[in-house]
Structure formats: structure tokens, C-alpha cells
Structure 1
Amino acid sequence: MSAAQSEEMTDILRRIRSWPIASRISLARRILESVEDVTVVEPPRREFPADALIGLLKTDDPPPTDEEVERIIEEERMRKYGA
């Protein structure tokens, strides 16, 4: 929220404090109804069977050894953070 919007909201709240409670509640309802009219469209969920996901990660190569993993991690750290 920008400073101008915050200032405007403060001004509105100050002005309506003198209104009767019924009028303030009516205004609040109208504001909430205006928000309800805005519908949020969620993108469709993509669901994959677990077997398909596992198949994406599967390779014919054997898993790396602990030493290879350490070397890979060290190379990535050097690439990311430098010497």
C-alpha cells in the first residue's frame, strides 16, 4: 500500500467514525461484497502418477559414490561462491 493510499484510508476511517453503526456496517458489507465479486482463477493442477515421476529421475548409470558427491558439491560451491 502506498503512502497516499494509507493516508486516504486513514481519512476515510476518520470521516466514517461519526456515522451511525448501521451505516458503517452497511458500508463494510458493501466493501466485502465488492471483494467477493473478484474471482481468483487458479490454474489447473497437474497431477502425475508416482511411477511416471520416478521414471523421470531414473537413469541407467549407477549412483555416485560419496567421493563423487563431495567433488560435485565442492565444484558447485566454487562455481557459486568463487575461490
Structure 2
Amino acid sequence: MVSIGGDRARTVTFVNDLAGQVIKRDEADTNGTTGDPHEIWYRHGGREMGYVGNNGSASDSYFDSIGRHATKPSAAQMFLAASVYRS
């Protein structure tokens, strides 16, 4: 679990598989009027077999996704693609 301060304080929780790859990522903040990103990856033998989430496309590699999530969003941006709400 990681606590992030700043313009949009939140907690990000990760679950890793035995190989150390993230298989689940959840964000939570104190703003109940908008949703929070939740993502699950299905991997086998080091390969991504599927993805379920409410945070945009996952059409990139595992390492590309790490870089994508390391990008600092704007204060109002909670989801990828500059969105403040995803369903």
C-alpha cells in the first residue's frame, strides 16, 4: 500500500503474483462523489492473458503500463485520458 499526498491525496494498493508482477491495483481517496480506478490483470507464464478495469485501455506491455501509471496526473484527473470519472 502506498499513500500519496498532494492535490489528490489517495491510497494505492497493489497485489503481486509470485513473479512480482502486479495483478491487482486499487485506488481510494476521500472524495465519494467520483469513482476510483480499479484494475485486475490475469497473467500466466509471464504473459498477460486478460485485463478488467475501469481505467481505460490496457493495450500496452507490462513495463509500458508501469511507466503510464508513474506519470503524474493533474489535480482533478483521477483516471487515464484526463478523465475525472469512469464507469
Higher relative contact order (CA 8 A, sep 6+): 2
Query: Normalising by structure 2, what TM-score?
Result: 0.19
**Larger Rg, first or second structure (1 or 2):** 1
Query: Normalising by structure 1, what TM-score?
Result: 0.20
More helix per residue: 1
More strand per residue: 2
